[in-house]
Structure formats: structure tokens, C-alpha cells
Amino acid sequence: MKTKKTKVITDSEKIYQDCVDAVFSLNSLTQDILIPKIFSLPMIYIDKDLLYTNYDKFVKEKATAEKSYQDFLKLIKQKKKQNLLIDDDYVFYNRLDGIMPSFNKAIKEVHFILKHHFEMKKQIEEVTLTQKPNIYPLSFMPTFESMLAGTIASSEGQLDTFIPSLQVRLELDSKTYSRIENVYFSNLELDIVYRDQLKSWKEQKLTKDQKKHIKLLEEMSLYVHQMNADILMSVRMMKSDLMHRTSLMKLYLSALHDDLYLLQTVLTGKIY
């Protein structure tokens, strides 16, 4: 009776496979979660838990990928010094050498942009926890609506003025950036006060007309928040050159996708 021959996995093959798995995992995380559910959404619509969880996951998987690649290079170096390299070692080395430059460039930009989102979301959440707004009675509702309408008109005008600066990547000095950031972050703090006020009114016994009025105010408040968050994000994008780095990320990810496809076809035995 013939016994089934078991494939012997070499030391370099195991570390190589660990590195490939880490690269695929990070690419999947970026393409399936980070881009569609975080990078493509306004800050107000990004789920806090999703962002925090995947930030931690990305950092850990990035460290794993980097360590496995360094372990592989270290092993190859040792085997070369001891004259123990075999044909597979050269194959594995060439495969990783072809993909890691694109991978490292892409992941560097993804990490930069993800960290930017993480820090901004965390800052907004910290403000939310520390705010203790004054709560007004229902009779304040008309005044509240006038305040929101005035804020909307002001923010729309400022946003229309600001957009052309983004398109030409206008460079401002650090003090100007700081002043703009302070203004719009203060506006975001005010948005939190608006939402707490509306939440307090909704908990009261309301007439049908009051419910409709509060729903309208909620839509206005959401619009104000979105504009302020977009302006603040745009300022920080200009300050950190994030728009340029986002373009680089897309370019590098496209190159990485092509490299991964080739690597995957080799691993699955479709080409050699």
C-alpha cells in the first residue's frame, strides 16, 4: 500500500507565506473597510467604533507584515552567508522583492490618512463628552431656528469662498491654519450643543406641529455639522497635504492590486 507523500515546508517558505498572508490581509482591510466605510464618508457619518477598531487592527497588521518581511530577509541573509540557499529561496525572494515596494508606499499613505481620521474623530468625541450645555424651554424654539439659519448662511458663504483655495492647493502659513481650525472646531462644539438641545426637546411631550418643527431643526443642525466638519477636514487636508497623499494612496493601491494579482496567480499555481 502506497503512502501519501507529504509536502515538506521549508523555513523560508513558512515565513514567506506569513508575509504574503499579512500583505493580503492589509490590502483587504483597506479595500473592503477603510476606503468605502471611512475614507469616502464625511466625518459625521463615520462610525466611531468601526474607525477605532479598524485603526487598531490596521496598526497591528501593519506591524505583522513588516516583521514577517524583515524576518524573511534576515533568514535569507543567514542562509546566504552559510551557503544554504536553495532554488525556492530565490523564487520567494524575487516574488516579495517585486511586491514590497508598492506595498510599502501604499500602506504608508493609508496609515497617514487613517491616523488623520482617527485623531480628528477622537478630538470631536472628547469635546462631546466634556460639553455641558444649557438647556432651554420649548419657547426658545423660534430663536433656535433663527440661530441655525444664520449659521447655515454664514457657513455656506465661507465654504463657497474656501473651495477654490482647495482646488489650487493654496499654501497658508501655520498661524492662518490654526485660526481657521479654531473657528471651525468651535463651530463643531456648538453643533454638539444644538444636538443636545434638540434631544432634550424630543424627550418632552410634544404636539404634532412641534414634532415636525423639531424634525426640521434636526435636519438643519445635521447640515450645519456636516458643513463645519467638511470645512475643518479640508483645512487639515491642506495643512497636511492630505489631498496629495490621498491621490498617492490611490495610485499606489492600484499598483499594489496588480502586483497582488500576479502574486496570487503564482501561489494558486495558475502561472509559474
Domain co-membership, 105 together with 18: yes
Confidence of residue 4 (pLDDT cuts 50, 70, 90): very low
Separation CA 225–CA 251 (nearest Å): 31
Separation CA 96–CA 103 (nearest Å): 10
Domain co-membership, 112 together with 66: yes
Confidence at residue 51, expressed as pLDDT on a 0 to 100 scale: 92
How many CB atoms within 10 Å of residue 211?
12
Tell me the per-residue pLDDT of 86-108, one tens digit each, with 9 for 90 and over: 888 898 898 888 888 878 888 88
**Number of folded domains that form the chain:** 2
Q: Which amino acid is at 98?
A: G
Confidence at residue 1, expressed as pLDDT on a 0 to 100 scale: 47
Range of 42-56, 152-166, 201-215 with top mean pLDDT: 201-215
- Kindly state whether residue 6 falls inside one of the protein's structural domains: no
Angle at 129 between CA 124 and CA 131, to 5 degrees: 90
137: phi then psi, degrees, rounded to nearest 5: -75, 170
Q: Does pLDDT of 125 surpass 70?
A: yes
223: phi then psi, degrees, rounded to nearest 5: -65, -45
Confidence at residue 64, expressed as pLDDT on a 0 to 100 scale: 92
Domain co-membership, 217 together with 256: no
Which residues fall within 8 angstroms of residue 228, CB to CB, at 6 or more apart? 155, 184, 187, 188, 191
Confidence at residue 237, expressed as pLDDT on a 0 to 100 scale: 64
Q: Contact 111/65 with Cβ under 8 angstroms?
A: no
Domain co-membership, 230 together with 137: yes
Domain co-membership, 95 together with 158: no
Domain co-membership, 172 together with 257: no
Q: Contact 63/26 with Cβ under 8 angstroms?
A: no
Q: Does pLDDT of 10 surpass 80?
A: no
Domain co-membership, 140 together with 193: yes
Indicate if the alpha-carbon torsion angle 154, 155, 160, 165 is positive or negative. positive
Domain co-membership, 152 together with 95: no
Q: Which amino acid is at 270?
A: K
Separation CA 271–CA 262 (nearest Å): 9
DSSP helix, strand, coil percent of the chain (3-state; round to 5)? 85, 0, 15
Domain carrying residue 214: 131-240
Q: Does pLDDT of 72 surpass 70?
A: yes
- Helix or strand or coil: residue 272? coil
Confidence of residue 270 (pLDDT cuts 50, 70, 90): very low
